[in-house]
Structure 1
Amino acid sequence: MIGVNLLRKVKMPMKKSPFGKYEKIVNKGTMNVIFFACSIIIIAILITGISSYAIVKKAMIDKLQKQDLVYILKSISTQIDERIDRAKETSLILADNPEVIQWFEDGETDKKFEPLFIEQMTHVAKTLNYTVFFTNRKTGHYWTNSNLLTDTMNKDDTADQWFYKTLASGQKITLNIDHNNVLNQTNLWIDTLMGDIHEPAGVAGVGVDLQDISTEFSNYKISDKSNLWLVDTNGKISISEDIEQSGGRLQDYLPDKVSNEIKNDAAQSGDKPTVISYQDQSGQKDLIFQKLTSCNWILIFQIDRSETMGFLNSIMISTFVSITVVLIFLIIVFYVVSTRIANPYKKSVQLNLELEKEVQERTSEIRAQNKKMTESIYYAKTIQESILPSSEYLQKILANHFVLWRPRDIVGGDFYWLRETDDGWVMVVGDCTGHGVPGALMTMAVNSILSNIMSQNEIPSPAVIIKELNRQLKDALNKEKGDHSTDDGLDAAVLSYDNRGRLLYAGAKMSMYVASSGQVTVYDGHKSGIGYIKSSFDEDMFDAGVRINRGDRVYLTTDGYVDQNGGSHDYSFGKSKFRKNISHTLKLSIYEQGKWLEKVLTDYQGQEPQRDDIVVVGIEF
């Protein structure tokens, strides 16, 4: 009986309702509690609203000045710089053409060269949408792609003074902007001295229509009171989203103090963006400017503070409306919670917390597994990079060269392989089946087989290497033993070069590009891949011999480069465009050419994901 009584004493308090206390409060003075709680909430919301308004306003101003304005300025300045730099590069290529320079110095006497000169000039103009011009210092002839022989320079003609000033400037490149108020057109002229800047053969260059930039400027307008200008060092507006402002003076639209500060700071701060805030009769203004990297012009963006901060007034009104609505709902919710649903709500909160805890645990486990997997893949990348020839080894054997290796994932199935021989070297560029880790494992297997083949007493020819690689890879993958669950292999190109200037090539579904004397020749490989079930190189596999002269270049590429989609129509880059890019950039050094080919692919790809692994190798002999 004593034990029973004690047990009853212990259990009795547990039978009471957990919300009995709140029920008692509701019965005695629920409205008093609700009124007190609402008063506290009103004060808290008011304090929070006022402080939030001040914090948000300061944060928005900081964001506007440090992020939004900088982003807008960087976006448009990058487009202008890229367009001007591209025009400069084109102008330099035109101006340093040795054939045109020689023809000008001979006084344009060789009439057989004139059609070729006109064809080259019109081809560049049509391809790049430029106006191309050449002016002969000796004859004064002014050639353009539209009217061909357009004019003859005259020192007494004020319209021709640009030509003589450019010759006397001693500067390789001179930039000029011409704004036509009648036609509302703005053109950038790249005037480039041909050949030696001290004794130039003439002036050549391109004209770029910048009117579309004015159209693009309007896309960056945040409001009707914002302005975007491109001005020269003298404060003349070259481009504006408002066509009527083009050709005007910056002082006409900004206070003298601000316009002078822009010119002074732009001359000192270089190409870094600078933000200025100032007050005028219409209110507070925010302005950012930056000097372009491609020239001395200044890009300026100005916006009215009231336009960017106007939404804060809406926030304030919304806050007061929210307070009223919240109070009404709080009175209802407090009453209902106090009388009916406190306990179920508590249970639901507890259940939610338990679920949240379980989700966090699962997420932590997944994150840990993902970290381990990523670390393993990066370690695999280190291993794969270790089997590729080092830059020092490539430089020692090949000297002038470039290599573009860009796996689609962290590791990939494309590789390049190089081995020095007694009288030269052997190079292999391959594209194995698959991407990521499977492709990387294939490259290591192929690398091992190549090392085994090259360990023979006599160095085999490229065709023999491909045949032997095909045989050993099939053996390694059980292709001849009836296990056809997989059909993996690779495309490859093999080069063998001796110090006497003889190059041997054999390819399996991979071509070789040879640039010699300004012409690019393509040597196609065998139609079959290596290591596949149906791969066969019994009778029709042979070496292609090429006599290499000093200055010749050879290029090998996997299909990842030419198959990359992009451009305005989302088409593949293509072998034809790859060949043209090689041909048009032979004036560059082999290293600069490699950087150019990489940049062209990146620009063409745009926002599209990389489709395949990429390897491009270029060698200058």
Structure 2
Amino acid sequence: MGLRSKSLLALAFACLVALVCAGLIGWQVVENVREHFGLAYARNYTQLNRQKILAPVSRELALSLRLADSEVVRQWLLDEDDAGKRALFFKEVEGYRRDFLDHSWFVIADPTRHYYFDDGKGDRGAAMQAPRYTLRTDEKNDAWYFATLRNTGHFNINVDYDHALNVTKVWINVLVRDGSRKIGLAGTGIDLTRFLADFIRHDEAGVTPMILDRQGAIQAHPDASLIALNSATGAAVQQRTVFDQLPLAADRHALRTAMQAAETRPGEVETAWVELGGRRQLLALSYIPELKWQVLTAVDLHAARVIDTNWIWPVVAAFAAMMALLLVGFGLAVERLVLRPLRRLQQSAGAIAAGHYEVALPAAGNDEIGALSRAFGVMADTVRRHTAELEHKVRERTAALEAANQAMAAAHKKIDDSIDYASLIQRAILPDHQLVQTLGPHHFVLWRPRDVVGGDFYVFRADGDNCLLGVVDCAGHGVPGALMTMLARAAIDHAIAEVGLRSPAAVLARTDAAMRAMLADAELPRGIATNMDAGFCYIDRAAGTLRFAGAKISLYWSDGQDMGELRGGRRALADKRVGEYADAELELAAGRTFYLVTDGFLDQAGGEHGFGFGNRRFAEMLRQHAGLPLERQAEAFDAALADYQGALPQRDDVTLLSFRFD
């Protein structure tokens, strides 16, 4: 990326940061303005709805109260069979029917439970004066009537579906009394469809008007399925309240608080913020004490057109155009004032880099680029002089390095030859030939030094049909470890010569003493370790037993199902403190395979987290493969260790000696 691109990118980034900051501030301002105007909009909309509801419903309620208080209605309900009172009643109630908005009325005579209803449709003769049906206490659809009689209020306004009349209306139910006695019910109904069309339904996006009773039961809603039918009578089968639409307890509490505040100040509008329908919405409430209703408006400020946002896009387009012009102008200025002088200076630098030190530099001005050109000229002259001096020194140093490299290569070859020879010597002391002759396919050995030579080796001594087997892990790796194996081999040979083969514990103890005697007069640095781990098994074929003793090396065995371990002593040979070693016997059971392993196998790092192979994973590996022929076991164990190690380096020398006697 060139300087022009970087400059334009830096300017664009600065403009973008400024745009983001301005956008965040502007967005916050817009949100505050939206919330301010949204609050005013919700209040005004709620007040408008309140008046739209209060005016017609109050008119219908006033007419219903007059109808229920009519002496003609009262006298007829007390003597329903009197023909004169009946005729007078139907004559008077016809006037009310014409005045009601829905042109309908109803009257219920409590002594007979007869339900009279007239909506101006059908036969206007004697059949119209007959009761539509008779209410029964055992009919669940009539429960609203008996619940109304039990109420202490003088009237209620209820949304209900009348099964007998097959109509759903906003019913105004007013008690007809004869003194303190309740003798019936009178009133009218407003068709729910018309009521919703006049007061609830609208074309405003993001605005949901509702009507609630004092308990929050929904009396009117654009979604008719949410209306709590019969809630005002107390006989509702299923109360549907606005609180059911609020998933958060804090929102339900905020709405109840707003409803209580609205009741204490009728005519005022109270507000609350809640989550409704999965969106944050503003609720505005106003209480109508005459109807005991709460008029509620839910406004989603981001969906409702509270403010006009059409001006935002022209502003964004103008800002983008201004930013493009600024980038073009800035790019031209950078090209003329910066890039052209730098390009000429770059051409001169390229010529000097190619060895043309006499190239002419561009004319130096009085700005920073001019100062750079002058400094570059001084640098070119200095480089020219130093180059000549360096070429002479390089020729001298090259000759010296070639001589040193030849001497180093010769020394390195001598060291490699010595190490290879040491590897042959170490291989020579390993009893591979004796193991093959004596045990044949009933054994295998995994011997993997970390370097060309190592500190691990294994031991085999025949004793007629019996034999002594073992593994030894000397401290150190490479050449130091290999030298320690020579001392250890000599000490073991000396110990076997003195105590024999039959007691591995005695061999360990005598080897420990021999090692201490060898190293007693040696002046070794404190950081050099001379201890070694060992484990020996004596096989008594006639008795069918195995005798084992170890110094920090255990004997493992498995038949493919069970797995066992004989632990060695806690201290290594030639340790700071003298260890105690004891023989342990084990039966040479058929199908049982035995394993002696150094800690290089168990401590090898690998796996997902780089942990050591570990005793548990080793035991599971033995149990899984112990039933295989020993040749296949060797392949399986070698593959398991390689897979676990992965790309990690080998940490220590590895030796695994396995044998089986049938």
Common topology (TM > 0.5)? no
TM-score under structure 2 normalisation?
A: 0.42
Larger radius of gyration: 2
